[in-house]
Structure 1
C-alpha cells in the first residue's frame, strides 16, 4: 500500500477546537450521513455494534441545556445562577453534538471492556470525520456523562453509558498546537 501523505500530514496536525469556538454552519444532511458512516467504521469484534449515537442539534441544543440546568438545580439547590447559565449552554454554540453511547452486549468471548473501546473509536472517528469534511470538533465528557439522571435524559438506557460528546461545527478561530509528550517519556520496549 502506498504512503498517503495527506492523511499523514493531517494526523500530525490535528487538534481540537473548543466548543466556544465552533460556529455555524454544521454538516448538512448529506455531510452528516457521510460523517456518521465514517464514525461507525470502527473495530467491532463479533460485529456486536456495541454503541449508539444521539444527535443534539437545532433547537434541541437549548432544550437539552435547560434540562441539564434543572437536574443540576435539583442536585444542588444552592447552585448559583451563573453556573446554571453555563449548564444551559452545554451544547451551544456548536451546531451539532453527537453523544456516543457505549451499549455493551452480553457475549461469552468479547469482554465489555473491548466493546467500550469500540465505542470510543466511534467518538474518535467522529472527530477525524469532522475534519475530513472541513469542520472542526471537540470530544468531551462532562458531569452529565457520569450522572444517571442526566445520561438517561440525554438518551442512555439501563446498562449504557456515554463515552463522550463530540461537538462539531465550523471553527471560528485558528487553534495553536499544544505541547505534545516527548516520545521517550511515553514509549518503552518490552524486553521479556
Structure 2
C-alpha cells in the first residue's frame, strides 16, 4: 500500500523541489495557478485568520518586476555590481510561473504571530505539493528580496512579510534527489519526561 505509485502517498514520497533557473515551458496556465493557490490555502489555520496572501505575477508583468527589483537593489545596496543587477533581473523572470506568498499575521490576536507565520510556511508547502500533483515542479526561494521592505511593498504592506517566491514550471533537466535526514538522527521517542531517547 505504501509503495503503490497510484496512491496520494506516492506524490508525497516523490515531491522534489526544482531550481527555478532550470524550469521552462510548459508552465501552468492562470487557471492552474489559481487552482494551486486554492490548494495552498487549505492549510492549518488556528483561529481561521487566513494569515497569508497569494500574489500571482502574470508572465507579461515579469519584466516590470525585474526593473523594480533592480531599482530597489540599487537603492538598498550601494555597492551592487552590474552582475548583481543582472542576477536580480534574472530572479524575477526565471521559470514560467510565479506566486509570491506573504505572511499576513493578525497582530494583537490571541493566536500568537508565530503560529500564524507557521501557517504561511505551510501554505507555501501546499503550493509545492499542488504543483507536483498537477505535473509541474515548484521552487520556493527567498534571498535578499524576501527581506526587503521595499520589495514587500510591491506586493503588500507592513506588517506583512514575504514568506517566499514560489516559482512554477516544467523541469528542463532531470531532478536530482537530495540527501534527506536519517530518521535515526531526526526522530526521537518521548519516554515519560526522562528526556529524549534514541
Q: Contact 2:131–2:138 at 8 Å: present in 1 too?
A: yes
Map of 1:79-90 to 2, 5 A cutoff?
79-90=80-91
Residue 117 of structure 2: SS of its match in structure 1? helix
1:158-183 deviation digits (Å, cap 9, x = unpaired)? 11101111100111111110111111
For 1:93, the equivalent position in structure 2 comes to 94
Map of 1:58-73 to 2, 5 A cutoff?
58-73=59-74
**TM-fit CA distance, 1:34:** 1.6
Residue 90 of structure 1: SS of its match in structure 2? helix
Q: Unmatched 5+ residue regions in structure 2?
A: 194-198
For 1:179, the equivalent position in structure 2 comes to 179
**TM-fit CA distance, 1:4:** 9.1
- Aligned-residue RMSD, C-alpha: 1.7
Residue 42 of structure 1: SS of its match in structure 2? coil
User: Distance in 2 between the 1:190 and 1:37 partners?
Assistant: 36
For 1:170, the equivalent position in structure 2 comes to 170
User: Distance in 2 between the 1:144 and 1:74 partners?
Assistant: 13
User: Distance in 2 between the 1:24 and 1:108 partners?
Assistant: 43
Q: Unmatched 5+ residue regions in structure 1?
A: none
User: Distance in 1 between the 2:21 and 2:138 partners?
Assistant: 11
The TM-score with structure 1 as length reference comes to 0.92
Aligned residues: 190
Map of 1:16-165 to 2, 5 A cutoff?
16-153=17-154, 155-165=155-165
